[in-house]
Homo-oligomer: A and B are copies of this chain.
Amino acid sequence: MFGQMMDRPLLISSLLRHAERQHPRREIVSITVDHPRHRYTYREAFIRIRKLANALARMGARPGDRIATLAWNDFRHFEIYYAVSCSGFVCHTINPRLFEEQLTFIVNHAEDRWLFLDPAFVPLVEKLQPTLTSVEGYVILTDDAHMPATTLANARSYESLIAAQADSFEWPEFDERTASSLCYTSGTTGDPKGVLYSHRSTILHCYAMALPDASGLSGNDVLMPVVPMFHVNAWGLPYTALMLGVKMVFPGPKMGDPPTLQSLIDEERVNFAAGVPTVWQGLVAYLDQTGKRVDSLKSVLCGGSAVPVSLSDALRDRYGADIKQAWGMTETSPIGTIFTYSPEAQRLPDAQRDSLRAKQGRCIYGVELKIVDDDGNELAHDGKSFGALKVRGPWVASSYYRRDNDDVFDQEGWFSTGDVATICPFGYMQITDRTKDVIKSGGEWISSIGLENLAVAHPAVAQAAVIAIAHSKWQERPLLVVVLKPGESVTREELLDFFSGKIARWWIPDDVAFVEKLPLTATGKLSKLQLRKRFEGYRLPTD
């Protein structure tokens, strides 16, 4: 027997309708190439969104069509998000920092019909243009006055596209499972994989992100998303903002520029910001140097990689802003866990309470987490057992776009994150490794990240990486690869001794290799894949 409640679909257009009624005066502030400080209200934004919807309809877009963006965070990108998804098309945000071959693969795999791009990316896209097989036209995110000369086909300025359009538009109603946006994740191997979000998943994620023990954002906050809008929809914040009526501040191409971030925070009274740790490390360094302040800032949502406790301390102790560490992935929309104190954690002794901040937080309602061993058996939440992290929920991907049978989606409906984690008795999850990097020694797991963190604490070590080496008795044993600091020296034995007493005896690496530098990926991360290739066939002294 069904309940007798209204069958209202969860559509992104309902955010627009709500915000227009409830929060018309709220502001959106942006930096763009053609505006040093663009400022308008939700009401003005929504008029332009409806004009863009009319333009898209006139361009001949059909339900389900992919419309791509290559753009920084600003008001025009925000308008595209809403006009495209609410019309029933798919907003495909692309990371401009990817390799050119990846960009071509992604556009062609998605079969994007139009590409909206910032003027700064025109040279890049002109170069790619001959390889892009599906794109019918290009829209440059500026006005005619700032329009660059270009060889792009059917190129026009965004402002000229929407200028003559009517400012009324009836948003269509459709099934809430309809695709709304698309984001590719590029692993270290294989082709980029697309995650296709739905209206339903977006709205539910939005509710979850707004919970008091998640972001806790309210209509009285001023939010600056420094996480790119091509990075899992800026963690869903442009949606959450409209649900709650939050003033938004978009730094545009100045996302990595601490002086701009400081002045935006200070002048716009930003109290809530979001971005990866390196952004805040850059800002803290700038503030430390200049003596400038960000006194309005109270909360910083931070994820994408583990947040160093030293960064949390610096922001809290010197600048009065609390970091909310969070964990998620493109496949999880992204919110999986977020750090806030539970009442039980609040009551812990200071040192123990403080140490929890190294963890990625607790999972919020809607997300289910489990850690499992090699046989899929669930492991205890004791803060020590670590296993492969699996996740399930209505905003978690069930498959990749136009790919079949990826084994990360298991039979029981869980997604294998590729992370290895512990979960403590208070529910706090901590990533300890990537599945492919963990060392499996005699049926037990050794965390490569745990060993690396110890190794870099040695005064002579600049960088460290630990990889698994095949072993005839133990299957795998750890090899420590180090880069020494200039002018420093240390022996193999001294380094291995350094681990004694700090970890279980059987975790201590079997050997040390000294190298000049470690291989990096295109995005500047350590490439363990290349490192493993380099040490393929390496024979450990213990074997």
Which chain A residues (157-187) contact chain B, with CB distance < 8 Å?
A: 175, 177-180
Picked from B3, B22, B198, B395, the residue with its CB within 8 Å of the CB of A199 is B3
Picked from B213, B398, B400, the residue with its CB within 8 Å of the CB of A7 is B398
Cβ of A487 under 8 Å from chain B: no
A197: B residues at CB distance < 8 A: 3, 5
Chain A interface category by residue count: 35 or more
Cβ of A4 under 8 Å from chain B: yes
Query: How many protomers of this protein does the assembly include?
Result: 2
- Judge whether A396 and B210 touch: CB under 8 Å: no
Cβ of A258 under 8 Å from chain B: no
A535: B residues at CB distance < 8 A: none
Chain B proximity mask over A394-432: 1 for CB below 8 Å, otherwise 0: 111111110000000000010100000000000100000
- Judge whether B212 and A217 touch: CB under 8 Å: yes
Cβ of A465 under 8 Å from chain B: no
Output the nearest chain B residue to A395 by Cβ-Cβ distance.
B5
Q: Kindly name the residue among A23, A175, A213 whose own CB sees the greatest number of chain B CB atoms within 10 A.
A: A213
Cβ of A223 under 8 Å from chain B: no
Cβ of A363 under 8 Å from chain B: yes
Picked from B212, B340, B392, B399, the residue with its CB within 8 Å of the CB of A216 is B212
Cβ of A324 under 8 Å from chain B: no
Instruction: Tell me whether A26 and B398 are in contact in the complex, defined as CB-CB below 8 angstroms, given that A198-B3, A211-B210 are known contacts.
Output: no
Which chain A residues (330-358) contact chain B, with CB distance < 8 Å?
A: 333, 340-344, 346
Distance between A81 CB and nearest chain B CB, rounded to angstroms: 15
A393: B residues at CB distance < 8 A: 6, 8
- Judge whether B3 and A220 touch: CB under 8 Å: no
Cβ of A25 under 8 Å from chain B: yes
Report Cα–Cα, A8/B15, bound state, in Å: 22
Instruction: Tell me whether A18 and B247 are in contact in the complex, defined as CB-CB below 8 angstroms, given that A1-B90, A3-B196 are known contacts.
Output: no
Cβ of A83 under 8 Å from chain B: no
Report Cα–Cα, A55/B10, bound state, in Å: 36
Report Cα–Cα, A25/B348, bound state, in Å: 14
Picked from B25, B201, B208, B363, the residue with its CB within 8 Å of the CB of A5 is B201
- Judge whether A220 and B5 touch: CB under 8 Å: no
- Judge whether A8 and B218 touch: CB under 8 Å: no
Cβ of A219 under 8 Å from chain B: yes
Picked from B25, B217, B344, B363, the residue with its CB within 8 Å of the CB of A25 is B344
Which chain A residues (13-48) contact chain B, with CB distance < 8 Å?
A: 14-15, 17-18, 21-23, 25-26
- Judge whether A18 and B212 touch: CB under 8 Å: no
A395: B residues at CB distance < 8 A: 5-6
- Judge whether B346 and A392 touch: CB under 8 Å: no
Q: Kindly name the residue among A244, A365, A366, A413 whose own CB sees the greatest number of chain B CB atoms within 10 A.
A: A365
Which chain A residues (251-296) contact chain B, with CB distance < 8 Å?
A: none
Report Cα–Cα, A8/B395, bound state, in Å: 9
Picked from B2, B25, B178, B208, the residue with its CB within 8 Å of the CB of A207 is B208
The 5 closest A-B pairs by CB, nearest first: A3-B198, A1-B64, A207-B207, A212-B218, A5-B201
**Extra 14 A-B pairs, beta carbons < 8 Å, given A21-B427, A212-B244:** A1-B63, A2-B175, A3-B197, A3-B200, A4-B397, A5-B177, A7-B398, A14-B365, A18-B365, A22-B363, A22-B427, A216-B218, A219-B343, A220-B342
